[in-house]
């Protein structure tokens, strides 16, 4: 006699939790070009830099460069993030007007929020379009 396994289905609803950002971010400026190029140079191999710059500048959407390429970019960034940690920390700290030590004491996820804000901010589009010219 075999016992039948019972499967339990648990439904979870995820409500959007409002996030209060512990910072105010300045606009990107000309002085940010070189630090961003240095960071991207450490994070992405040559063959993915062009695709990244096209997506970052808004020239192409992820579906245009391909989901696999976008996935490869994401994986490369994650795998190489440690190589640029100090540069990313310094850049993010400068964007919100704090020291690196102060940034590192902020709530977990603050650096990620700053990076996402940079790419989502419409004012950053012209900066990334100009940056993409270096990787074309």
Which pTM was predicted?
0.69
Burial class for 107, CB neighbours closer than 10 Å (0-12, 13-18, 19+)? exposed
Q: Tell me what pLDDT residue 72 has.
A: 72
> Which tens digit of pLDDT belongs to each residue from 38-88?
888 887 777 677 777 777 777 777 677 666 666 676 777 778 888 899 999
Quick one: tokens of 29?
Answer: 């400026």
Average pLDDT of the chain to the nearest whole number? 80
Spell out a b/e string for 56-88, using b for 16 or more CB atoms within 10 Å of the CB, else e: bbeeeeeeebeeebbebbeebbeeeeeebeebb
């Amino acid at each position: 006699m075999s016992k039948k396994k019972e499967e339990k289905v648990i439904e979870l609803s995820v409500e959007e939790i409002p996030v209060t950002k512990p910072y105010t971010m300045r606009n990107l400026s000309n002085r940010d070009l070189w630090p961003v190029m240095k960071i991207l140079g450490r994070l992405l191999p040559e063959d993915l830099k062009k695709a990244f710059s096209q997506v970052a500048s808004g020239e192409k959407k992820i579906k245009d460069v391909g989901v696999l390429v976008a996935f490869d970019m994401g994986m490369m960034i994650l795998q190489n993030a440690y190589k640029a940690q100090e540069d990313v920390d310094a850049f993010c700290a400068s964007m919100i007007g704090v020291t690196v030590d102060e940034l590192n004491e902020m709530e977990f996820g603050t650096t990620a929020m700053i990076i996402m804000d940079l790419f989502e901010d419409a004012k950053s589009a012209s900066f990334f379009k100009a940056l993409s010219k270096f990787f074309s």
